[in-house]
Structure formats: structure tokens, C-alpha cells
Homo-oligomer: A and B are copies of this chain.
Amino acid sequence: MSPNIESASPPGRRERRKSETRERIFLAALRLFAERGFFRTTVEDITEAADVGKGTFFSYFPSKEHLFGMMHEVQLSKVLHAEAEAKTGDLPIHDVLRQFMQNIAEEPGRSQLVARGLLATVFTNEDIRKLLVGTLTRGRSHLERILTLGQERGEVRRDLPASAMARNFQQSTIGTLMLWSLDTPSNLSRRIDTTFEIYWSGIKAGSDRAENLQ
């Protein structure tokens, strides 16, 4: 793709095409990771499956690991959506958070091998670790605002800081995803259901009763 040809297209169309190519590469990669595992999938495999040249691949993603940056954007857009939904006040915070926990587990939970590949990369690649920590920190600030709204509306307990409950949401979700990815095949969505049920019982208004302080 020469910059001259690119600049001849109207900006909107060019941006849309770039975004489509990016997504095609990403989806091809996810499919291959699921079939062969992260480590056994090469950049060549991905470019072939996505029908793009290696140069195109590298213009979007400096390395195979950087495909995860795209995943992070996808995940962040979900928490932004949940926050916007919470702000309208149309739904109880319970419903917003329940749907969000399911949504956030959906992409990394497409297959156990994809999830294992994603998690392995976090522990073995310093750039990806920092990327994840950054994304979790940003995600947590939005979750915190949702939980604060829940506290203000009397739906969420007030004796714990919203930030602690936001962190717990992430820990519970990632812990569920992690153990699901390692285990014999099972339904992730049902596991997330149970995780959310216990999480919500733990943070809803009225859960901070004297018994906890024994």
C-alpha cells in the first residue's frame, strides 16, 4: 500500500478499509490460535489465512503478540458501553454488570486454546504484561464509576470502596476464565453466571451486615 494511492481515497473510506483489514487479520489469527495454539501459529499462517501480505500485517501489528492490542481495544469498548448504559439509569446496575461480565469473557473465551495462548503471553512477554496492566487499570476506572453509580442509587454496598469492588470484578472474571481455560471442556458462560451470582451477592446493598465483622 503506497501512501500516494492511499491518500487518493476519501479519508472515511480509507479508514474503513484499514479497519476492515485490521479486523480480518485479527479474526484469522484468533481462529488459528484456537486451532493450533498461540505458539504454533506463525505470522505466515495468519497472513495466508487473512489473504494479506506480510508487509500489511506488520504495518498493523509489529508482532504476533501485538494482535492482543486489538483485543484490548475490543474489551475497553465493552466497559465504555456498560458505563454509558449505567449512566442512562434505564437498567439496574445488577443487570448492567451481569451482562458486562458475560461480554468481557466472550472474546478471550472463544476457545480454551485461545484463552491459554492469551494468558501465556501475558506471563512470558513483558510488553504484553504492561499492555494488560494498562488496559485493566483503564477498565477498572470505568467499572469504578459504574459501581459508584450503584452506591449512589442504593443498589451497591457503601462500606467498601468502589475501586476495591471494581478490582474484585476483574479478579473474579479473569480467575474464572483462567481455570476454565485449563480444565476439561465446559460451558464458560454458565461458569460466569455462577461467578456473577456470588460476586453480586457479595457487593449488593445489604450484604455488609454485622455477621461479616465477626
Contact = CB atoms under 8 A, between A and B. Distances in A.
Contacts of A178: 171, 174-175, 178
Contacts of A198: 160, 165, 168, 199, 202-203
Contacts of A202: 197-203, 207
Name the residue among A116, A182, A206 with the largest chain B CB count within 10 angstroms. Answer: A182
Given A199-B198, A203-B201, A167 B182 contact: no
Contacts of A204: 211-212
Name the residue among A117, A174, A198, A211 with the largest chain B CB count within 10 angstroms. Answer: A198
Interface stretch (A3-11, A62-70, A128-136): A128-136
Chain A contact residues: over half helix, strand or loop, or mixed?
A: helix
A120 B208 CA distance: 36
B129 A120 contact: no
Interface string A171-214: 11111101100111000000100110111111110111101101
A133 B180 CA distance: 10
Interface size class of A (residues with CB under 8 A): 35 or more
A174 B198 CA distance: 16
Contacts of A173: 175
A179 B183 contact: no
Contacts of A133: 182-184
Contacts of A136: 179
Contact of A171 (B179, B211, B214): B179
A206 B179 CA distance: 28
Contacts of A129: 182
Contacts of A179: 136, 167, 170-171, 174
- State the 3 A-B residue pairs at the shortest beta-carbon distance, nearest first: A175-B175, A202-B202, A120-B123
Given A136-B179, A171-B175, A175-B176, 4 more contacts: A124-B124, A133-B182, A198-B202, A202-B207
